[in-house]
Amino acid sequence: MDRRKFLGVAGLTAAGAGVFLAGGCGGNSNTLKIVSSLPRTGSAQGQTDTIVNGIRLAMDEYNNELFGHKLVHQDMDDATAAQGQWDAGKEADNAREAISDKNVMVFIGPYNSGAAKQSMPILSEAGLLQISPAATWPGLTKVVPGDEKSGEPGIYRKSDKLTFCRVCPTDNVQGPKTAEFVARVLNAKTVFVLDDKELYGSGIAKLFMEACRTKEIGIKILGHEQLVKQNNYKATLQKIAQLKPDAIYFGGTSQSGGPQIAIDMKGENLTCPLIVPDGCYEKAFIEGAGADLFKDVTCYATIGGKDPSLLTTGAGAEFVKKYKEKFNKDPEAYAVYGYEAAKVFLEAAKAVGRKDREAIRDAVIKTKDFDKGALGKWSFDADGDTTLQELTISKIENGKFKPVKSL
């Protein structure tokens, strides 16, 4: 059995782990399919569970039916057990499988920016709409100053039509605003920067450092080190301790070493705050380090947009209420972005009123002043990015993320 056939069979047989059929099965002319491609294996599963829950919650609001077609959600995994994280080959396979199924009208995902680089060209060439709830690397949609030679984002656009858009703010919002928080709120004058050498981690660390060096922020960078994942980081943190920084910034994820850095900070008696980005804004980060550790290590985590606990009025509050009722737990940070991605697609498809990939793609990309989701009124800009530009900073207390500042 070749890889493609295996993926197809596995996707249809693993109902609990892989496929959720909201009233129908693919390959039927009376179905309209939403595909999501996320790391459903490995330590990011907790976060992607909430994204998938958000998608299904949105589908419920249409009774899993649009203009006479049954709504179907296919939950694709772009990770492998061996790697414990996303895999380039699986993400590309997922994209190819999606474009070959004529019932698929949208590809929601991926979670990781590196994975987006794999699926974007395939989906662009086929003209299939892609909405990411979590990929935040700016170069996916815009030219990053100083990175012009990469050819981004043009290398991902294989047709003259925009197919990729995202409902989450990008790292060029998160990096600079985090620097502003470190300077203005934490009153830090110096910082040591670590990153995991991956696209997301190194990219957001670079944007954070660029902001620190500006005259307006004025934070001195005592050092910057890139770390591959390892059992511990004691040697590095011993060197950092001698420099006595006011703060440590880690660009990376829960899966690429974030929890261990917090553990080793305590071991080396480093008492300055640790600041981590949205790749660590999940229970897996807190549980990986141990909730009690944060009684001794002060840690702030940032996320583009709003923490669900801040959705206290209107449609946002209604989303949180429905989520708790359906899943019997609080939504994690990216749940609302899964919901928002599905809602903007469903509303556009409803307005188009027919199963037409190109018409629905065009309607979604032209979204302006969208207010049918949970995040308030927003639009897609000319590059497919959301106009929402808010950053939430939370402190880890009692095993939870407690929002302390919105910028």
Cβ-Cβ contacts under 8 Å for 103 (sequence gap 6 or more):
26, 27, 28, 29, 31, 32, 33, 72, 355
Nearest to 366 by CA among 358, 356, 374, 375: 358
Structure tokens belonging to residue 192: 């040591």
Cβ-Cβ contacts under 8 Å for 142 (sequence gap 6 or more):
153, 170, 172, 383, 385
Residue spans per domain, the chain: 31-169+312-376, 171-304+392-406
Return the CATH number of the domain spanning residue range 31-169+312-376: 3.40.50.2300
Measured between alpha carbons, how far is 153 from 220 in angstroms, rounded to an integer? 32
275-to-186, 364, 384, 393 alpha-carbon distances in Å: 11, 35, 29, 9
pLDDT tier for residue 17 given thresholds of 50, 70 and 90: very low
Cβ-Cβ contacts under 8 Å for 395 (sequence gap 6 or more):
298, 299, 300, 401, 402, 404
Measured between alpha carbons, how far is 64 from 66 in angstroms, rounded to an integer? 7
Cβ-Cβ contacts under 8 Å for 29 (sequence gap 6 or more):
103
Q: What is the dihedral of CA 89, 334, 348, 386, to 10 degrees?
A: -90
Per-residue pLDDT tens for 288-319?
999 999 999 999 999 888 788 888 899 999 99
Strands 69-77 and 19-20, sheet pairing: antiparallel
Specify which of 95-109, 227-241, 250-264, 267-281 reaches the highest per-range mean pLDDT.
Answer: 95-109
Tell me, what's the pLDDT at 8? 41
How many CA atoms, within 13 angstroms, populate the side-chain half-sphere of residue 222?
17
Which residue shows structure tokens 């583009």? 304
User: Does residue 119 carry a pLDDT above 50?
Assistant: yes
Per-residue pLDDT tens for 171-226?
888 888 999 999 999 999 999 999 999 888 888 899 999 999 999 999 999 999 99
pLDDT tier for residue 83 given thresholds of 50, 70 and 90: confident
Domain 171-304+392-406 - what CATH class?
A: alpha beta
Tell me, what's the pLDDT at 28? 63
Which residue shows structure tokens 């995902």? 109
Cβ-Cβ contacts under 8 Å for 278 (sequence gap 6 or more):
136, 174, 301, 302, 303, 304, 333
pLDDT tier for residue 282 given thresholds of 50, 70 and 90: confident
pLDDT tier for residue 27 given thresholds of 50, 70 and 90: low
* DSSP annotation of 138: G
Q: Is the dihedral of CA 390, 391, 396, 399 positive or negative?
A: positive
Per-residue pLDDT tens for 128-171?
999 999 998 899 999 987 778 889 999 999 998 999 999 998 88
